[in-house]
Amino acid sequence: MFSVFRSLRWRLQSWHAIMLLLVIAVFGALLHWEMLRAHWDRVDDELLGAARILEGSMNAVPSTVLEAMAKDVTFRSGPRRRPQFPNRPRRDPQESLPPAGPPQLERPRSSPMQDWKFPKSLGEVKSDWSQEEWEASIELPPQLPEHLGRMEGPAYFVIWRADGSVLKESKVPKQSPLLTDPITFAIDRDRYARQQRGAFREVFIRGPFETVICVGRPAAGEVSKVSAMTWTLVLSGLSVLSVGLVGGWWFSKRAIEPIERMSRTAQRISANSLSERIELSGFDSELEGLGTSLNTMLDRLGQAFEQQRQFTADASHEFRTPLSVMLASSELALSKPRTAEEYRQHLVKCQRAATRMRELGDSMLTLARLDANPTLETQSVDMASVLGEAVESILPLAEERSVRVEMDLHPSPLRGNRSMLRQAIDNLLSNAIKYNKPDGMVTVRCKQVDQNIEIEIQDNGIGIPEHAIPKLFDRFYRVDESRSREAGGTGLGLSIVNQIVLCHGGTISVESKVDSGSTFRIYLPSTN
Amino acid sequence: MRILVVEDEIDLQESLAQALREDGYAVDTADNGEDGLYKAKVWDYDVIILDWMLPKLNGVELLRRLRRIKKTPVMLLTAKDAVNDRVTGLDEGADDYLIKPFSLSELLARVRSLIRRSTGNASNRIAFGTVEIDLASKTVKESGNPVELTAREYAMLELLAVHAGKLVSRTMIYNHIFDEQDDTLSNLVDVHISHLRKKLGKDFIETRRGQGYILHV
């Protein structure tokens, strides 16, 4: 159950879903907000226009005043214009207008329309106006009914005095919240307030004498339009999300599929089927790299397993022959009563077989030790003395085969494991004598060459065929596939030599020609 | 019955030869493939026991060459125990396959079975009237009473018995009863036949002058 949530695909999918949801939600919300604002701004602009007309009409200077002004004020250029009083009550033109013309307006202007200011003298006398006089002078603009009529739904307006009493109003629909709900918000002087109450949209501005002007209209149509827009947005968001999720699921399947293929292959691979390889076709380069390195690893593992398997098979094969001699001889000896001489002969055979098995076991143990622990205990060794001792101990065998051994030894100091080196030399020497001809010769040399000690064991014996040389150091490899009885041996001698040389950081090579002899050459790092 | 043992491990070869001789077979030996092939071609052996790993010519190659001219039953003897090796050995024409190390008694039983099959007998017991021959225990009974036979006499009787109803020539007897170590004399066969007649009845073995002997079913 929980393993599902630990799967890479599920995690990818979950993250993908969360990210997608966030992105869609943020964009959707922004879009929604922007659409709403644009929509209501249009409505508000209309309402605000009407409110400004009302405000303008309340600020407007009555035509009688303008006529009086026209007598004294000279407009240098541009058409005559009705000035706007910035929320100030007007005064009697007779008193407010000074006899002399306003000097500010005398100056010529390039564009008097922009900077036109009403004469100061006119403004300075405003305080004389009482609210009542002002209220009485308000003329509602004649274009207002037309303007309100153009709006959707019957628009309405209300003008309140500062004390909250109604100054002027049009016919307010019964459902309007104006009639029931108190206004609880502040209205700035220079700005406007707007409010959506139920299905009504209203705009509030401040007029002269702390009056408040409200223009509103029912907005049920807009509300339903907006909610339709909201739903469209939500639904399209959901559909984009689901398409994204399905796509993500598909993509993650595609991305995971090679990994699953790899794991299926890996499951099939065991010690018995190391030949299986991961199919690399159709992989992306990253996964192909992974697959290739896995395959290379499998190649190496396969080789190691094959070597191990071969070694075990060869070892058991090597043990079978002496074992069958022992079994056959003992069974035969015991099959009926025999003379003492017959028993002795069978026992001799058994002993020979047992000796061979012991040699085999010893060799395998040596190799196993060298394999398991390639770092040997080392001491200072002079190869010349090692070679001298080895030759001395092999002389009886050499005499028996009438093989002459010659030495040419120079001081050759190195660090190494003396008994191991001795064993390697013993193996090479006994090979050189065993695979020699009667009256043959073996030459043993050692000397220092640059940083290395060069050891050479040369014989003029039967030689090694060319095809056998590459396999010569393989375990259980024999030049003649059958056990050559006279020479004996386990098939491990040269493998042991090779392993000992490798453990000393050296190299071994062989030159040979059939019927003219072989030369084994070892290089070991010197201490000098 | 004459058997060729081709085995390069001398100790094993000697033990095998001794065991087979003690069991009443005539045994020839070879310690390399070339000698083995030569002997197998020259003589008609009843069974060849062949080691796989041989100097000069390996056992399977020997078998391959021998099979071009002869159907002699061959038992392959080897330390190779992998299934593939066994399949190779049998496919190259071996009739049996014995893995080292083996028990001598098993080897002898398999040799008997090879001989039985190659001569077309289903059982180890062959009866001729009142005479019954048991190939496994190498005993002969006449009317239920054991008959004492020398190894040579038994070998000759066995040869005639497994080829019952067919003419067995003197050459064939020489080829199958005596091995390369025997100093054979031609009248030795007649001596053995007359001994058999004395012990088993006068008309038991029919002589066809100039041709050989026949044992009637």
Q: Of the candidates B10, B22, B101, which has its C-beta nearest A323's C-beta?
A: B101
Chain A residue with Cα closest to B59 = A482
Q: Average of pLDDT values for A135-148?
A: 74
- Burial per residue of B46-72, b for 16 or more beta-carbon CB atoms within 10 angstroms, e otherwise: bbbbbbbbbbbbbbbebbeebeeeeeb
**Least confident interval from A29-33, A103-107, A145-149, A187-191:** A103-107
Answer whether A481 sits within 8 Å of B58, measured CB to CB.
yes
Chain B contact probe: residue of A482, A483, A486 with most B CBs at under 10 A: A482
Q: Are A69 and A122 in contact (CB under 8 A)?
A: yes
The angle, 0 to 180 degrees and rounded to 10, between the axes of the packed helices B83-91 and B59-67 is: 30
- Does residue A19 carry a pLDDT above 60? yes
State the pLDDT at residue A201: 84
Q: What percent of chain A has pLDDT over 70?
A: 79
Cα–Cα distance between B207 and B215 in angstroms, integer? 9
CA A124 vs CA A93, A96, A208, A209, B60: distances in Å: 12, 8, 16, 17, 136
State the pLDDT at residue A425: 93
Return residues 473-492 of A near B (CB < 8 Å).
Answer: 480-485
Q: What percent of chain A has pLDDT over 90?
A: 22
Task: With beta carbons under 8 A apart, name residues in chain B contacting A323.
Answer: 100-101
Instruction: Considering only CA atoms, give the Rg of chain A.
Output: 57
pLDDT band at residue B188 under the 50/70/90 scheme: confident
Vertex A168: Cα angle to A163 and A173 (nearest 5): 105
Chain B residue with Cα closest to A349 = B11
Cα–Cα distance between B134 and B113 in angstroms, integer? 13
Answer whether B9 sits within 8 Å of A336, measured CB to CB.
no
State the pLDDT at residue A113: 37
Answer whether B54 sits within 8 Å of A482, measured CB to CB.
yes
Q: Is the ipTM of this complex over 0.90?
A: no
Q: How many CB atoms lie within 10 A of CB A213?
A: 25
- Does residue A407 carry a pLDDT above 80? yes
From the CA of B164, how many Å to the nearest CA of chain A?
32
Q: Of the candidates A313, A321, A332, which has its C-beta nearest B9's C-beta?
A: A321
Task: With beta carbons under 8 A apart, name residues in chain B contacting A329.
Answer: 11, 15
**Least confident interval from A188-202, A352-366, B88-102:** A188-202
From the CA of B13, how many Å to the nearest CA of chain A?
9
| Sequence-distant (≥ 6) Cβ neighbours of residue A4 within 8 angstroms | A10
Task: With beta carbons under 8 A apart, name residues in chain B contacting A351.
Answer: none
Answer whether A325 touches B (CB < 8 Å).
yes
Q: Average of pLDDT values for A16-39?
A: 91
Q: On the CB side of A30, how many CA atoms lie within 13 Å of its CA?
A: 6
**Least confident interval from A108-117, B11-20, B71-80, B199-208:** A108-117
**Least confident interval from A171-185, A338-352, A356-370, A394-408:** A171-185
Mean pLDDT of chain B: 86
- Does residue A140 carry a pLDDT above 80? no
Answer whether B53 sits within 8 Å of A335, measured CB to CB.
no
A272-318 confidence digits (pLDDT tens): 677 777 777 777 777 788 888 888 888 888 888 888 888 888 888 88
Torsion, Cα B44 B48 B51 B56, to 10 degrees, reads 0
Q: How many CB atoms lie within 10 A of CB B11?
A: 24
Answer whether A329 sits within 8 Å of B102, measured CB to CB.
no
State the pLDDT at residue A67: 55
Q: Average of pLDDT values for B182-209?
A: 78
Answer whether A344 touches B (CB < 8 Å).
no
Mean pLDDT of chain A: 79
- Does residue A118 carry a pLDDT above 80? no
CA A404 vs CA A277, A394, A436, A438: distances in Å: 56, 11, 10, 9
B113-145 confidence digits (pLDDT tens): 998 888 877 778 888 878 888 888 888 888 888
Chain B residue with Cα closest to A479 = B55
Looking at per-residue confidence, does B131 or A174 come out higher?
B131
How would DSSP label each residue in A292-324?
A: HHHHHHHHHHHHHHHHHHHHHHHHHHHHHHHHH
B34-68 confidence digits (pLDDT tens): 999 999 998 889 999 999 888 888 889 999 999 99
Answer whether B102 sits within 8 Å of A482, measured CB to CB.
no
pLDDT band at residue A408 under the 50/70/90 scheme: very high
- Does residue B198 carry a pLDDT above 50? yes
Task: With beta carbons under 8 A apart, name residues in chain A contacting B8.
Answer: 482-483, 485
Answer whether A480 sits within 8 Å of B55, measured CB to CB.
yes
Task: With beta carbons under 8 A apart, name residues in chain A contacting B19.
Answer: 328, 331-332, 335
State the pLDDT at residue A488: 60
**Least confident interval from A220-224, A354-358, A477-481, B17-21:** A477-481
Answer whether B100 sits within 8 Å of A316, measured CB to CB.
no
From the CA of B107, how many Å to the nearest CA of chain A?
10
Long-range contacts from B200-206, C-beta under 8 angstroms, 24+ separation:
B200/B131, B200/B140, B200/B142, B200/B147, B200/B157, B201/B130, B201/B131, B201/B142, B204/B128, B204/B131, B205/B160
Answer whether A335 touches B (CB < 8 Å).
yes
Answer whether A321 sits within 8 Å of B12, measured CB to CB.
yes
From the CA of B79, how many Å to the nearest CA of chain A?
5
Interface of B with A (CB under 8 A): 8-12, 14-16, 18-19, 22, 32, 53-55, 58, 79-82, 99-105
Answer whether A482 sits within 8 Å of B99, measured CB to CB.
no
